[in-house]
Amino acid sequence: MISVFCRKAGQRAGWIGGLVALLSSDAAAAGGTVTITARRLLDVESGQMIERPLIRIEDGVITAVTPRAASQGATYDLGDVTLLPGLIDCHTHLIGSPSPAPYDTLRETTAHAAIEGVANARATLEAGFTTVRDLGSREYADVALRDAIAAGRVPGPRMLVAVLSLSATGGHGDWNDLPPDIEIHRPAALADGVEEVRKAVRLNLKYGADWIKILVTGGVTSAGTDPQQADYTEEEIHAAVVAARARGRDVAAHAHGAAGIIRAARAGVRSVEHASYLNDEAISELKRQGTFIVPNPYTNFYILDRGQSAGFVDYEIEKSKQIYYKKMDSLRRAVSAGIPVAYGTDAGVQPHGHNGRQLALYVQAGMTPLAALQSATLVAARLLRQEHRLGRLKPGFVGDLLAVAGDPLQRIQVVESPLFVFKDGALVYSRSARINDTRALMPLRLADPIKPIAPTAASPTPSPAPAAPTSPAPAIKATGQGSIHPVPASGKP
Ligand SMILES: [Zn+2]
């Protein structure tokens, strides 16, 4: 049971009203103003901690961040936690079951994959990632999920989607270990030559793509491909860039090997995914072009850690062995060369909801904890051309934030399991009150406002005391132990 105060009435709402308030971004948009306070806030640009901040969010947008006066109340007093801007994962695959076995996707219907996507979206949001760039899906299920989240029908991060990845015949998006007489659906749009590439880009854009993903080199999870080998020519990649830019969109290039990275950068892609084998030439080309890289060492770490027990096959494990240390070393070189590194995990190869675990690997590769957080906020927002509204806690930015226990600049791992997550000013996750009742989703589109249900003897008053955490919560002191301390609108605590 969840305890949430109805601000207008100054009373505790019934459970339906409470759940709606927790889940609905629309509640914030329609309902007006919320204020949030906590022990401290990290300014991810300067690295400064701001003590006792008060964030005011109106219609989902931050309108003020000020020091909190002792007498000042707030809608949510989160206690002894650190507030951060909502995080951004620039490389996910939300649609489908995370399935390491290559041919499992053939056994999964698109309907099933889409429903899995709903669960994956929620797991991602609850990990503090309020925005994702989803790089490659099937049958436009990513478009449907993006739109359902945006409409407030299901909880999840705001999504930018790439629909079908473009692959050369025999490339990373093809089935390469099946005989030619087996006609099966490809997980990507096969496109060879400038004309086919252009057509595939335009088809994706026609059906709702926000980004274009092109598979320039072989990959880890595909049979018979070499991650170091480039499949697309610079001319083909450039055709994708021109077709995308004509409609105001950008291209993300999957590229492990240096040759593919160099071609992609020269062709004008906005980001290179994985960027596993950087040499001097690749580094200077990335710098010259201002290309972002999005390294995902956690995927290979996970494959090596879990191996066959999680269903990964020999070639995935073998290629991960070759790539993991190279990728970490390339990341280290990119960081010292000043190449913009945006955070992206490739979640979907590994399970969703662990998106924050890669931050520690970025730190291991030479980033400061602040720089690692910037890669998932400021830099990611810049890559997405959303730096005017995402990635910071300041007026004019969306009201997305998470609360973590302790100081992430001292221990980056505290970001892996947030205690609270807000999106568009609405509380969407609380460690102490996991929302499991999907009936809460139903009233979102009702024309009439939901009236709080008065507690009766039959339905005992929900207690404001915290429920037991669903998983071991990091130790936090004082009053903020995983609980929400709502304060009535009068401002008196
Ligand atoms: Zn991927």
Residue 55 Cα to ligand 1 midpoint, Å, equals 35
Residue 53 Cα to ligand 1 midpoint, Å, equals 37
Residue 211 Cα to ligand 1 midpoint, Å, equals 13
Beta bridge partner(s), residue 89 = 132
My answer on whether 117 and 40 are in the same domain is: no
Residue 89 Cα to ligand 1 midpoint, Å, equals 12
At 182 the pLDDT is 86
Owning domain of residue 367: 87-383
> Tokens in use for 378?
């400021």
Residue 358 Cα to ligand 1 midpoint, Å, equals 15
In the chain, the number of structural domains is 2
- Rounded Cα distance, 366 and 345, in Å: 17
Residue 275 Cα to ligand 1 midpoint, Å, equals 12
- Rounded Cα distance, 405 and 147, in Å: 32
CATH of the domain at 214: 3.20.20.140
- Which among 349, 383, 417 is the end of a domain? 383
Residue 263 Cα to ligand 1 midpoint, Å, equals 19
Contact 272, 334 (CB under 8 A): no
Residue 364 Cα to ligand 1 midpoint, Å, equals 22
Length in residues, the chain? 493
In a domain, 290, yes or no: yes
My answer on whether 49 and 36 are in the same domain is: yes
My answer on whether 374 and 401 are in the same domain is: no
Q: SS3 for 466?
A: coil
Residue 345 Cα to ligand 1 midpoint, Å, equals 8
Q: SS3 for 65?
A: strand
CATH of the domain at 78: 2.30.40.10
Residue 171 Cα to ligand 1 midpoint, Å, equals 14
> Tokens in use for 354?
């662990």
Under the phi-then-psi rule, with left for phi > 0, alpha for psi from -120 to 50, and beta for the rest, what region is 51? beta
Residue 124 Cα to ligand 1 midpoint, Å, equals 16
Residue 228 Cα to ligand 1 midpoint, Å, equals 16
At 457 the pLDDT is 37
Contact 385, 133 (CB under 8 A): no
- Which among 383, 413, 428 is the end of a domain? 383
**pLDDT digit string (tens) for 263-315?**
999 999 999 999 999 999 999 999 999 999 999 999 999 999 999 988 899 99
Strand order in the sheet with 49-51: 49-51, 40-42, 82-85, 401-404, 420-423, 426-430
Residue 135 Cα to ligand 1 midpoint, Å, equals 6
My answer on whether 52 and 77 are in the same domain is: yes
Residue 210 Cα to ligand 1 midpoint, Å, equals 16
At 440 the pLDDT is 37
At 9 the pLDDT is 29
Residue 467 Cα to ligand 1 midpoint, Å, equals 37
At 70 the pLDDT is 86
Residue 162 Cα to ligand 1 midpoint, Å, equals 11
My answer on whether 117 and 27 are in the same domain is: no
In a domain, 389, yes or no: no
Tens digit of each residue's pLDDT, the chain (493 residues): 233 323 322 232 222 233 333 333 434 444 589 999 999 999 999 999 999 999 999 999 999 999 999 888 899 999 999 999 999 999 999 999 887 777 888 889 999 999 999 999 999 999 999 999 999 999 899 999 999 999 999 999 999 999 999 999 999 999 898 888 988 877 789 999 999 999 999 999 999 999 999 999 999 988 899 999 999 999 999 999 999 999 999 999 999 999 999 999 999 999 999 999 999 999 999 999 999 999 999 999 999 999 998 889 999 999 999 999 999 999 999 999 999 999 999 999 999 999 999 999 999 999 999 999 999 999 999 999 999 999 999 999 999 999 999 999 999 999 999 999 999 999 999 987 554 433 333 333 333 333 333 333 333 333 333 333 333 333 322 233 333 333 333 333 2
My answer on whether 325 and 433 are in the same domain is: no
Residue 93 Cα to ligand 1 midpoint, Å, equals 7
Contact 341, 295 (CB under 8 A): yes
Q: Angle at which helices 280-289 and 258-267 pack, to 10 degrees?
A: 20
Residue 344 Cα to ligand 1 midpoint, Å, equals 9
Residue 18 Cα to ligand 1 midpoint, Å, equals 37
My answer on whether 37 and 177 are in the same domain is: no
- Which among 328, 351, 383 is the end of a domain? 383
Ion ligand 1: residues, CB within 5 A, are 346
Contact 76, 426 (CB under 8 A): no
My answer on whether 58 and 138 are in the same domain is: no
Residues in Cβ contact with 436 at an 8 Å cutoff, skipping those fewer than 6 apart: none
Residue 191 Cα to ligand 1 midpoint, Å, equals 18
In a domain, 491, yes or no: no
Residue 140 has what DSSP assignment?
A: T
Residue 431 Cα to ligand 1 midpoint, Å, equals 29
In a domain, 493, yes or no: no
